[in-house]
Chain A
Amino acid sequence: DAGITQSPRHKVTETGTPVTLRCHQTENHRYMYWYRQDPGHGLRLIHYSYGVKDTDKGEVSDGYSVSRSKTEDFLLTLESATSSQTSVYFCATGSIGTGSLSGPYFGPGTRLTVT
């Protein structure tokens, strides 16, 4: 699997505070993704990136922003955390563009609790 790390792995924060989650990859993959996973909802796409400084919204992007200033890092920011953003967040990377390539590959996840 791709070398994907997420930091922090666990975080507890208070409502209204800003939070940034980091995804780092060592595979030089072009595509990176942020998903969240909640009981009863499964995995839902928040934002994705198809290149440095190229990002787009997913299914559940409200309240989140992302940035990608270099290939290896994709940051997810909660500008003002709310309790509804308590979730497990997964980053994924892939070299899929057109055609058949394996992946995307997922990181280990970040468990975020907003109190």
Chain B
Amino acid sequence: DAKTTQPPSMDCAEGRAANLPCNHSTISGNEYVYWYRQIHSQGPQYIIHGLKNNETNEMASLIITEDRKSSTLILPHATLRDTAVYYCIVRSATSNTGKLIFGQGTTLQVKP
């Protein structure tokens, strides 16, 4: 599976959009981009995933560049409860194990 690069930390003002970048320049054509977050001491929470089209759900939007070498997770109106570590993970669609390999993630601090 391709490796991802994320900034170690970011701040965001409460009520503003949080834009979390992820670089995955070695992604291959059959690999999906997954986003998880982990709020202190809790289990990681699935947020969203995508292949090449932009995706949106009730939690967030995922924007994937046309060349698929990078993506951005957008939390449209960040709240204090969105403070967490956010993980960007690339996983092969042809994997028969479904396993995820986590990196260090981005610590997002939402400030009042």
Contacts and interface: CB of A to CB of B under 8 A. Distances in A.
A108 B43 contact: yes
A104 B100 contact: yes
A31 interface: yes
A90 B44 CA distance: 9
Contact of A90 (B43, B46, B94, B99): B43
B13 interface: no
7 contacts: A31-B97, A31-B99, A90-B44, A98-B96, A102-B46, A104-B46, A105-B46
B43 A45 contact: no
Given A43-B44, A48-B97, 19 more contacts: A31-B98, A31-B99, A42-B102, A42-B105, A43-B102, A50-B98, A58-B99, A88-B41, A94-B98, A97-B98, A98-B96, A100-B51, A100-B93, A105-B46, A106-B43, A106-B44, A106-B45, A106-B46, A108-B43
Nearest to B105: A42
B51 A45 contact: no
Interface in A58-110: 58-59, 88, 90, 92, 94, 96-100, 102-109
A106 B105 CA distance: 17
A97 B96 contact: yes
Interface residues of A, number: 30
Interface of B is mostly: loop
A27 interface: no
Interface string B59-77: 0000000000000000000
Contacts of A42: 102-105
Nearest to A90: B43
A109 B72 CA distance: 28
A43 B95 CA distance: 20
A45 B98 contact: no
Interface in B29-72: 32, 41-46, 49, 51
